[in-house]
């Protein structure tokens, strides 16, 4: 009878060796869960385990391999998450039928045919393509990772994970995490700008979202908008998408060209001026007090609003803002932490009059509810601990030193800087030839540059080039210093 | 000579008692840095320290209080971050002149005057107001925090903080964190939908952003759009902002009303159908296979696209999607993790044809560059560890049980459920009277409800009410069970 009972047990693999798995047990072996997942992936990959097959039960496999049941459960769970197994309640785990797992393919570098425009979407795609074939990326607006403080950032992430409790579960506040707004208003107050964090401040998912929300709420197709020339290419992309009329105002060392500004304001009744006052991108120019006053006077006379983009403000010790003079009467101020903390956090802010913040918060709700509180808590922690001020000071000193060295390098390369930048991470240099052609040819060699055409309101051909000062820390600086490198594109 | 030297030293407070600070040293005392910050805040608050005063030097204060210099430095840094002090390099720390720190004010509950419309922006504002005066919030689409797994979430946040290294510093990928896209495609594959995570999938900052991007890329003012009636109120808000023509299609238990759908499609040549197929909000209805087939056939015949909103799909074990039948030919699928993991993470996705994903990624870049990678890494970790499947199963069981109990409660309350929901966290009940009036009166008592008018394509008065099934876990269920509660609003 006893022997009979044995023969009617369900057919299973020899339970002393289910799946043929022999765990490695050395102290430097991979964790058991990982070993088991990999072993199963192999069996699935070489079709030793076929679709529909029932996997050994958790108990069976645990006993045969001499591991805990928890190890097997965790491994099976991961295989389910990978789509390789599925579970049927009460029946066990089965090999899935459809199991085409895409191997991560290498995204292609965006290519640009000769006839194609070197426009905003193209540059955006290039900025964000895989870096496999790129030796040096001089088109990005971020500092090198090695200049940033990732330890500070990661410690803040862990601290948020320890302290957040249940608070991340909800949607958060549409206006943004209140303690972060408190910290931002304290930071702005120390720089002379007094705002109420409850009424006059909101967070956004990065400066770009802030600009998108303001432009969409303020402008309609056909409206006229004053824009500095040159300016951040994203501005032109956003304005083109809205179908508005762009009125370029030359950017001088002390601010926008007042004569042109007045003439255009008189002739076209613009709704808005978009300006990058403190550390202008791409020139590194600033804003003088008398020009600031005149810009505000013209805004008053001709009744236009001012969008003040403050992205690079932390690269000067005491920024001079239109918002401070104007007390947010006509100015909407945008700032953020991508340049000083981390691009991927996507934490920025808008400061404006209470009724404008209310309208923008409604627009933010409609276009994505709240902004992610996790990143806002990380930034809050770094600001509240008082680490931010010191970090920014160190970063500023490094950028300033690099800029001085880079100015010499650029001169050696035969480029001309017509007016030296006052601050910031860019040098705006004249290459004496069409930089779009240059950029295309350099791109083929894995060196990405930001040619002047991108920063031009009318996308006019240009001999100007925006170079990041971090170039002096890269291997490419040697290459760029080599005159033949610069002769090559002339061929 | 020695005594003379003493007298010319700069005037400082008695160094044995600088700032009069006596640190508490018990094991249950607050950290020293915190004590010092609070002490200084008190002195600043009662004007014992006046604007412009130089603070004791770090060494001086550290010595006098018997604490480390690091403690003083950290405390001063925090006070600088709060805008209360500023530092002058080489000269020390000074009390700031402008130091109006805004006390956190209590945001007011948004009030609604009788004449004002109970529209999308109002409901959105209400959903996100401070919960101070709210006893029960039945207007939100999130489950109670106690039903969610905040330990799992916070552990994943900490793990990301330990492992991310330098990788958070950049902007991340415009299409979204690649390993998360791999996991999402594996999850969808297990449910029968095969997509290429490199070409057919992108992440978004929550389902709402996905919808906003798709609607803005697909529609122009004046276009006709088919929308289920009732539907998620946000859809109407977004469509109104775009100035499109809304064509309501009644939502039946098996899907959209096919007869109306065909008539409207024939008459108005719509560009798009927006549908909430799996676990419809607010009704909890589903989609049958034959109706799904006919919807796709009509889309083919009349050449419209389909935006399939999959927000609540995880509340059924095996979701039946239009996207699966259609293989993304005409369907753009949106999903996310707000309902099952955490609202504030803002992690969602769009699956669509490669050329649509490319266009949407360009639109995403323009409206905010990338989505925040931090939250995407947190979701990735939870999916990759295989915890998500079990968590969702537990949550589903809890929701299903609650829904059954809630249906009885609702019946006891005298409300009528015309057709029972098939799944999900809502009950769509008929109160037999105008629920907008009811909702206003209940709101005055701190109970927020979502009246039918909000879910109506034409914002028509309605006797319907959307109740969250979590109501059975709240104190308010006792109150609601009390017939007088429901009589009161009739007054």
Mean residue pLDDT of chain A comes to 84
Parse chain A into domains and list their residue ranges: 32-95, 120-147+390-486, 150-386
Q: Which of A102-116, B93-107, B321-335, B400-414 has the highest mean pLDDT?
A: B321-335
> Is the CB of A221 inside 8 Å of chain B's CB atoms?
no
Residues 367-426 of B with CB under 8 A from A: 367-375, 378, 383-390
B132 band by pLDDT with thresholds 50, 70 and 90: very low
A77 closest CB neighbour out of B100, B120, B386: B386
* Residue B416 pLDDT exceeds 70: yes
Residues 318-377 of A with CB under 8 A from B: 338, 342-347, 362, 365-375
Query: Is B186 exposed, middle or buried, given 0-12, 13-18 or 19+ CB atoms closer than 10 A?
Result: buried
Which ipTM score applies to this complex?
0.73
* Residue B130 pLDDT exceeds 70: no
> Is the CB of B2 inside 8 Å of chain A's CB atoms?
no
Class (C level, CATH) for B32-95: mainly alpha
* Residue A104 pLDDT exceeds 60: no
The secondary structure of residue A416, as a DSSP letter, is B
The reported pLDDT for the residue numbered B445 is 72
Report the candidate in B317, B54, B40, B343 with the shortest Cα–Cα distance to residue B187. Answer: B317
Cα dihedral A58, A59, A63, A67 in deg (nearest 10):
50
Task: Give the span between the Cα atoms of B208 and A362, in whole angstroms.
Answer: 13
Task: Give the span between the Cα atoms of A54 and A76, in whole angstroms.
Answer: 12
Task: Give the span between the Cα atoms of B311 and B208, in whole angstroms.
Answer: 10
Among A117, A169, A380, pick the best mutation site for testing chain B contact (most B Cβ within 10 A).
A169
Helices (H), A303-416: 322-326, 354-368, 373-384, 387-412
Over the stretch A357-389, which tens digit does the pLDDT of each residue have? Answer: 999 998 898 888 888 999 999 999 999 998 899
* Residue A110 pLDDT exceeds 50: no
Q: Which residue has the higher pLDDT, A88 or A265?
A: A265
Over the stretch B294-348, which tens digit does the pLDDT of each residue have? Answer: 999 999 999 999 999 999 999 999 898 999 999 999 999 999 999 999 988 999 9
Percentage of residues in chain B having pLDDT higher than 70: 85
B477 band by pLDDT with thresholds 50, 70 and 90: low
The reported pLDDT for the residue numbered A133 is 59
Neighbours of A417 (CB within 10 A): 17
The reported pLDDT for the residue numbered A124 is 56
Q: Which residue has the higher pLDDT, B224 or B18?
A: B224
Which residues from chain A sit within 8 angstroms of residue B173, using beta carbons?
Answer: 128
pTM of the model: 0.76
* Poorest-pLDDT segment among A73-77, A302-306, B17-21: B17-21
A233 band by pLDDT with thresholds 50, 70 and 90: confident
* Residue A485 pLDDT exceeds 80: no
Over the stretch B152-182, which tens digit does the pLDDT of each residue have? Answer: 999 999 999 998 878 888 888 889 999 999 9
* Poorest-pLDDT segment among A48-62, A174-188, A337-351: A48-62
CATH 3.40.50.1370 at A150-386, yes or no: no
Conformation bin of residue A239: beta by default, left when phi > 0, alpha when psi is -120 to 50: alpha
The reported pLDDT for the residue numbered A103 is 38
Inspect the interface and report whether the beta carbons of B168 and A190 lie closer than 8 Å.
Answer: no
The reported pLDDT for the residue numbered A177 is 95
Inspect the interface and report whether the beta carbons of B83 and A344 lie closer than 8 Å.
Answer: no
Task: Give the span between the Cα atoms of B82 and B102, in whole angstroms.
Answer: 11
Which residues from chain B sit within 8 angstroms of residue A182, using beta carbons?
Answer: 101-102, 104
A435 band by pLDDT with thresholds 50, 70 and 90: confident
B118 band by pLDDT with thresholds 50, 70 and 90: very low
* Residue B6 pLDDT exceeds 60: no
B120-147+390-486 CATH: 3.90.1150.10
> Is the CB of B128 inside 8 Å of chain A's CB atoms?
yes
The reported pLDDT for the residue numbered B424 is 96
Over the stretch B260-280, which tens digit does the pLDDT of each residue have? Answer: 999 999 999 999 999 999 999
Which residues from chain B sit within 8 angstroms of residue A107, using beta carbons?
Answer: 198
A121 band by pLDDT with thresholds 50, 70 and 90: low
Task: Give the span between the Cα atoms of B144 and A360, in whole angstroms.
Answer: 28
* Residue B115 pLDDT exceeds 50: no
* Poorest-pLDDT segment among A94-98, A345-349, A399-403, A412-416: A94-98
Residue with tokens 């959903």: B127
The reported pLDDT for the residue numbered B449 is 82
Inspect the interface and report whether the beta carbons of A368 and B345 lie closer than 8 Å.
Answer: no
Which residues from chain B sit within 8 angstroms of residue A209, using beta carbons?
Answer: 367-368
Bridge partners of A272, per DSSP, are A225, A305
Inspect the interface and report whether the beta carbons of B366 and A238 lie closer than 8 Å.
Answer: yes
Over the stretch A446-471, which tens digit does the pLDDT of each residue have? Answer: 777 888 988 998 888 899 999 999 88
Contact B304, B265 (CB under 8 A): yes
The reported pLDDT for the residue numbered A125 is 60
CB pairs under 8 A between A and B: 322
The reported pLDDT for the residue numbered A313 is 94
Reading the block at residue A456, the tokens are: 């031009």
Which residues from chain A sit within 8 angstroms of residue B154, using beta carbons?
Answer: 161-162, 164-165, 168
Residues A109-123 have a mean pLDDT of 47
Which residues from chain A sit within 8 angstroms of residue B146, using beta carbons?
Answer: 166
* Residue B489 pLDDT exceeds 50: no
| For A125, nearest residue in chain B (alpha carbons) | B362
Chain B nearest CA to A348, separation (Å): 10
B478 band by pLDDT with thresholds 50, 70 and 90: low
> Is the CB of B201 inside 8 Å of chain A's CB atoms?
no
Over the stretch B49-107, which tens digit does the pLDDT of each residue have? Answer: 888 888 998 888 988 888 998 889 888 888 887 778 888 777 888 888 754 444 333 33
Which residues from chain A sit within 8 angstroms of residue B346, using beta carbons?
Answer: 368-372
The reported pLDDT for the residue numbered A100 is 46
- Distances in whole angstroms, Cα of residue A378 to Cα of each of A146, A183, B113, B254: 20, 12, 39, 45
Residue A446 backbone phi and psi in degrees, to 5: 85, 15
Report the candidate in A465, A487, A436 with the shortest Cα–Cα distance to residue A138. Answer: A465
Find the helix packing angle between B69-81 and A178-190, rounded to 10°.
90
> Is the CB of A208 inside 8 Å of chain B's CB atoms?
yes
B491 band by pLDDT with thresholds 50, 70 and 90: very low
* Residue A19 pLDDT exceeds 80: yes
* Residue A476 pLDDT exceeds 80: no
* Residue A30 pLDDT exceeds 50: yes
């Amino acid at each position: 009878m006893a022997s009979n009972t044995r023969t009617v047990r369900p057919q299973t693999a020899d339970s002393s060796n289910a799946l043929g798995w022999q765990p490695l047990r050395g102290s430097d072996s991979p964790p058991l869960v990982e070993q088991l997942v990999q072993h199963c992936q192999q069996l699935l990959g070489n079709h030793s385990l076929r679709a529909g097959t029932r996997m050994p039960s958790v108990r069976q496999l645990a006993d045969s391999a001499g591991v805990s049941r928890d190890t097997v459960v965790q491994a099976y769970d991961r295989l389910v998450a990978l789509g390789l197994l599925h579970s049927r309640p009460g029946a066990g785990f089965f090999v899935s039928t459809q199991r085409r797992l895409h191997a991560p393919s290498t995204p292609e570098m965006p290519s640009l045919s000769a006839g194609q425009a070197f426009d905003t979407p193209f540059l955006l795609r290039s900025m964000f393509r895989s870096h496999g074939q790129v030796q040096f990326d001089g088109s990005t607006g971020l500092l090198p990772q090695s200049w940033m403080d990732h330890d500070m950032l990661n410690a803040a992430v862990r601290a948020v994970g320890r302290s957040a409790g249940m608070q991340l579960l909800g949607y958060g506040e549409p206006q943004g995490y209140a303690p972060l707004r408190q910290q931002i208003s304290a930071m702005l107050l120390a720089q002379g700008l007094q705002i109420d964090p409850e009424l006059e401040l909101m967070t956004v998912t990065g400066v770009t979202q802030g600009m998108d929300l303001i432009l969409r709420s303020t402008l309609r197709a056909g409206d006229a908008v004053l824009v500095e020339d040159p300016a951040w290419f994203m501005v032109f992309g956003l304005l083109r998408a809205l179908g508005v009329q762009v009125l370029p105002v030359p950017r001088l060392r002390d601010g926008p060209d007042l004569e042109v500004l007045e003439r255009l304001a008189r002739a076209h009744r613009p709704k808005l001026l978009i300006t990058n006052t403190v550390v202008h991108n791409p020139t590194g120019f600033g804003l003088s007090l008398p020009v600031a006053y005149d810009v505000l006077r013209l805004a008053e006379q001709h009744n236009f609003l001012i969008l003040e983009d403050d992205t690079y403000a932390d690269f000067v010790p005491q920024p001079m803002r239109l918002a401070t003079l104007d007390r947010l009467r006509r100015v909407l101020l945008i700032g953020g932490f991508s340049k000083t903390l981390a691009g991927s956090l996507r934490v920025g802010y808008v400061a404006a009059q209470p009724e404008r913040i209310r309208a923008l918060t409604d627009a933010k709700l409609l276009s994505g509810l709240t902004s992610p509180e996790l990143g806002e808590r990380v930034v809050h922690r770094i600001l509240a601990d008082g680490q931010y001020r010191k970090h920014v000071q160190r970063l500023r000193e490094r950028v300033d030193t690099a800029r001085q060295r880079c100015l010499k390098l650029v001169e050696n390369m035969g480029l001309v800087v017509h007016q030296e930048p006052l601050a910031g991470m860019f040098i705006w240099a004249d290459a004496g030839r069409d930089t779009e052609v240059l950029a295309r040819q350099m791109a083929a060699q894995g060196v990405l540059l930001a040619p002047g055409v991108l920063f031009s309101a009318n996308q006019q051909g240009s001999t100007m080039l925006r170079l990041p000062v971090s170039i002096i820390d890269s291997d490419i600086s040697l290459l760029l210093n080599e005159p033949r490198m610069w002769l090559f594109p002339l061929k």
